[in-house]
Amino acid sequence: MGHMLNNTIQDVLIRRARMRGFNACWVPGTDHASIATEAKVVALLKEQGIHKADLSREDFLKHAWGWKEKYGGIILEQLKKLGASCDWDRTSFTMDEGMSEAVIDTFIDLYNKGYIYRGVRMVNWDPQGLTAVSDEEVIHKESTGKLVYVKYMISGTETQDVPEFITVATTRPETIMGDTAVCVNPTDERYVHLKGKHVIVPIVNRIVPIIFDEYVDAAFGTGALKVTPAHDINDFNLGQKHKLPTIDALTQEGKISEAAGAYVGLDRFACRKQIILDLTEQGLVEKVEEIKNKVGYSERTNAVIEPRLSMQWFLKMEDISKPALDAVVNGDVKLIPEKFINTYKHWMENVHDWCISRQLWWGQRIPAWYDGQGNTVVAKTKEEAFALLKAKNTSIDSNDVKQDDDVLDTWFSSWLWPMTVFDPKIITNGWDKANEDLKYYYPTNDLVTAPEILFFWVARMIIAGKEYTGLKPFNNVYLTGIVRDKQGRKMSKSLGNSPDPLDLIAKYGADGVRVGMLLCSPAGNDLMFDESYCEQGRNFANKVWNAFRLINGFEVSMPEALEGKETIYQPESSKAAITWFEQKLSEQLEIINDHYSKHRMSDALMATYKLVWDDFCAWYLEAIKPDFVDGKALPMDKSTFDATINFLEALLKIMHPWMPFITEEIWHSLKERDAKDCIIVAEWPTSLTTIDKKQLAEFEFSKELVTMVRNVRAQKQLSPKEKLEVFEKSNSERSYFDTVIIKLANLSAFNYTTEKVDGAFSFQIETTEFYIPLSSNINVEEEKERLLKELEYHKGFLKSVSVKLSNEKFVANAKPEVITVERKKESDALSKIASIEEQLKSIF
């Protein structure tokens, strides 16, 4: 579902940009998702009884490509169903020939610049995927673990009657065999006497030193820490500092290794249980506590991550990432919403070197070559590598040249995306020789993506862009929310709580799904997705279709012989409604444009929704709809019909980014058009240069009056068909919208009077009084009660305003506009009270 949201937003942006006359280009594509894909392919082969280990690299890759051909296009097909208006001819894949070559070129270039190095480092090891994963691919989850207090005997005290022990607390007793020291804080008085002493590691009886380091927190556990440099990053750092040996007690599958010297071959978790039992038996367990700790899991395989020492390739991040940090901090690249700037900044300022090698086959193979004698070179081809190695090792035979087995992290290819989709040669050619496409489209305008890959992808694209073009890759990064279900869980295929987008489209239509997704997606906030939003989207599409049916069915009074001349006059009410809606459309269009400019998508959609449903359908169309006489609709005058068609066309355009299918359909059903006259390339409407706010306000007033009359009907149980008469108490006559009021409220007449109308039902809007003479008698008691209630309300209001105005400090400090408004409120309230009191008097 994340894809659906993401791509709907992109499509809305691209369609609107296209309509505004921009050369809008949206490049679709996919990455090769090395870990996930390889895991899928391995599993698939296993079902067929084939083991990866039995296959050659080439054969395995054939299977992987087969899998990619079969499943890789699914998402793109879903996008087409959703109506994504991509530039499909440009569809790209991170393992396309050109893109792959660019990845290799990038590696070589960065290596030559000294950014890439190879080294033994502590990496996050996925014992199931059998590969290192980056820090960002580790998900930390809280879990309950056991903190085991294990007693280590002080060496040399074993012959004493009462041997001396030091107790260490550990959550990972299975790594005891890898211990090469015990560490305490030098200021911890409990242990100062142990300076220079050694302890005996249980199980393996190894004698290791007690070391002192500030790193240890004296308050945690016993204040003593077992140091296992091979299995914990902090221990590793301690080991480096104190020059401790490293014993790797685990295999890459997460089993106990030969080097451990005990429990060899046992699974790490089974070993943890067994070792606690054995130590307890030996009397070496002081106690066991339950504690909450965070455990890292592989994002791809969900296996518990094992910190593991291994030889990996790294990219030095400190220098290369600096321009990318600046670009966001100084606003050159805008993050939307802005709250992500802090997160980004924090990450970029504390960036770690990026482990870019993966122990997989599916991906771009690292262009590093070895001679088996300890020499390493980086080169594009074996021949080049051979030549380079020859320089270091004259006795080398070409058969000795072996390429590194690992591939590069997928993000090491997708970070080039904004450049290489246009020009795969950019890495070697440089910006000055970039092709036309890249020069034209780069930097791109908008990137829409999920906040979870802000660092994986967004930050790195900025880094690569700055490095190879000197420019940012995009102006705006719109970060969508995460799609969650009603219980707040992230929607994912693995959890099985995600509806199939194609099913949703079948049920609600692509337009319905698009509208549904965006109705509930505030920028940057997660969205609690529920199918009912799609239902609302479908209902809206239905409403639009019905409005079209109505308009399409209008019979225009235009005998062919009289073309160009009216055969019937345009009703005043239609004329007034057209004047109003022209203003309303402009007003709302400006609001919608403003929402777009601020990337407030759901607000832009809701404004569109209300403009169409409320203003156009509920008010405008009702106002111009011809009357029925003898069961037949009267024909409509041509001026009104033409104006209505123009309005509908403008509205269709405004709706088009959200609902491309229905708007295109209606666009073509409305009239015969040229083959190229499609709404997808129609021009985005423009608004009037000046908007008559006064007139808009006047119409709002008229709407309120109509509503009041409808209320009276409901209260008095009068049929909507019974015509009523309304009087307005006023000195001036003729509001522009009287004819519309007469039509919509179904009045026999709308009159003005300077005198109160006796015995009529009365009400007020703002400070104006209205009367409706009713044939049936007014219930005096009911009326009195209603008026008294109103009176009470206005008196209360008056009081609060008067208090405010009599407060000297308020009058002295408040802005003059505010005081003026308060004064007006006061006088309005007074006049209302007076008129209600007068009415009350007349009832008695």
Positions 617 through 646 that interact with RNA (CB under 7 A): 617-618, 621-622, 625, 628, 631, 633
**CB of 644: closest distance to RNA in angstroms?**
12
Tell me which of 671, 815, 841, 844 binds RNA, using CB under 7 A: 815
Q: Which positions from 542 through 601 interact with RNA, judged by CB under 7 A?
A: 542-543, 546-547, 549-550, 553
Residue with tokens 């307890």: 280
402: left (phi over 0), alpha (psi -120 to 50) or beta: beta
- From candidates 6, 413, 602, 608, binder to RNA by CB under 7 A: 602
Q: How far apart are CA 457 and CA 412, in angstroms?
A: 9
Is the CB of 234 or the CB of 252 nearer to RNA?
Answer: 234
The interface with RNA within residues 643-682 (CB under 7 A) comprises none
| Residues 314, 368 contacting (CB under 8 angstroms) | no
Instruction: Establish if 506 lies at the interface with RNA (CB under 7 A).
Output: no
Task: Write the interaction track for RNA spanning residues 289-308; mark x where CB under 7 A is met and - where it is not.
Answer: -----x--------------
Q: Which of these segments, 238-246, 340-348, 655-663, 750-758, binds RNA (CB under 7 A)?
A: 340-348
In whole angstroms, how close is the CB of 337 to RNA at the nearest point?
9
Q: Does 510 bind RNA (CB under 7 A)?
A: no
793 binds RNA (CB under 7 A): yes
Candidate segments 3-11, 249-257, 347-355, 555-563, binder of RNA by CB under 7 A: 347-355
CB-based burial label for 432 (10 Å; 0-12, 13-18, 19+): exposed
Q: Which is nearer to RNA, 353 or 400 (CB)?
A: 353
Residue 16 sits in the site that holds RNA (CB under 7 A): no
**Rg, the chain, Cα only:** 38
Identify the helix (H) or strand (E) that includes residue 107.
Answer: helix 97-112
Window 679-738: residues binding RNA (CB under 7 A): 706-707, 710-711, 714, 720
- Shortest Å, Cβ 293 to RNA: 9
Consecutive H or E run containing 5: helix 2-19
Residues binding RNA: number (CB under 7 A) = 75
Q: Is 690 exposed, middle or buried (0-12, 13-18, 19+ CB in 10 A)?
A: exposed
| Phi/psi at 567 (5° precision) | -100, -20
Binding positions for RNA, 221-260, rule CB under 7 A: 233
Strands 724-729, 527-528: pairing kind = unpaired
289 near 307, Cβ under 8 Å?
no
**Contact between 528 and RNA per CB under 7 A:** yes
Identify which range of 462-470, 732-740, 764-772, 804-812 contacts RNA by CB under 7 A. 804-812
Please report how the helices 572-597 and 738-745 are oriented relative to each other, as an axis angle in degrees rounded to 10: 100
Query: Which residues, 482 to 501, sit near RNA by CB under 7 A?
Result: 488
Phi and psi torsions of 493, nearest 5°: -65, -40
Note whether 536 binds RNA by CB under 7 A: yes
Q: Which of 605, 548, 617, 631 is nearest to 581 (CA)?
A: 617
Residues in region 435-474 near RNA by CB under 7 A: 451-452, 455
Helix (H, G, I), strand (E, B) or coil at 753: strand
Minimum distance, C-beta of residue 535 to RNA, in the bound complex (Å): 7
Tokens of 582: 């022209």
Of 60, 59, 58, 30, whose CA–CA distance to 42 is shortest? 60
- Residue in the structure block whose two tokens are 């050109």: 98
Name the one residue in this structure whose structure tokens are 């106990």: 256
Least distance to RNA from the beta carbon of 579, Å?
19
- The nearest distance, CB 145 to RNA, in angstroms, is 13
Tell the smallest beta-carbon distance from residue 439 to RNA (Å).
Answer: 35
789 contacts RNA (rule: CB under 7 A)? no
Residues 745-784 that bind RNA (CB under 7 A): none
Q: What angle do CA 335, 340, 345 make, to 5 degrees?
A: 100
**Minimum distance, C-beta of residue 81 to RNA, in the bound complex (Å):** 18
Which one among 809, 816, 841, 844 touches RNA, defined by CB under 7 A? 809
Give CA–CA dist 382/132, Å, rounded.
26
Q: What whole-number distance in Å separates Cα of residue 369 and Cα of residue 680?
A: 52
- Report residue 93 CA to chain centroid gap: 23
Q: Decide: is 346 part of the binding site for RNA (CB under 7 A).
A: yes
Q: Which of 538, 575, 599, 743 binds RNA (CB under 7 A)?
A: 538
**Residue 636: CB minimum distance to RNA, A:** 12
Least separation in angstroms between residue 119's CB and RNA is: 18
| Segments in 295-368 forming alpha helices (H) | 322-329, 340-349
Nearest partner of 740 among 806, 695, 798, judged by Cα: 695
List 96, 101, 109, 135, residue binding RNA (CB under 7 A):
135
In the region spanning residues 40 to 99, those forming contacts with RNA, defined by CB under 7 A, are: none
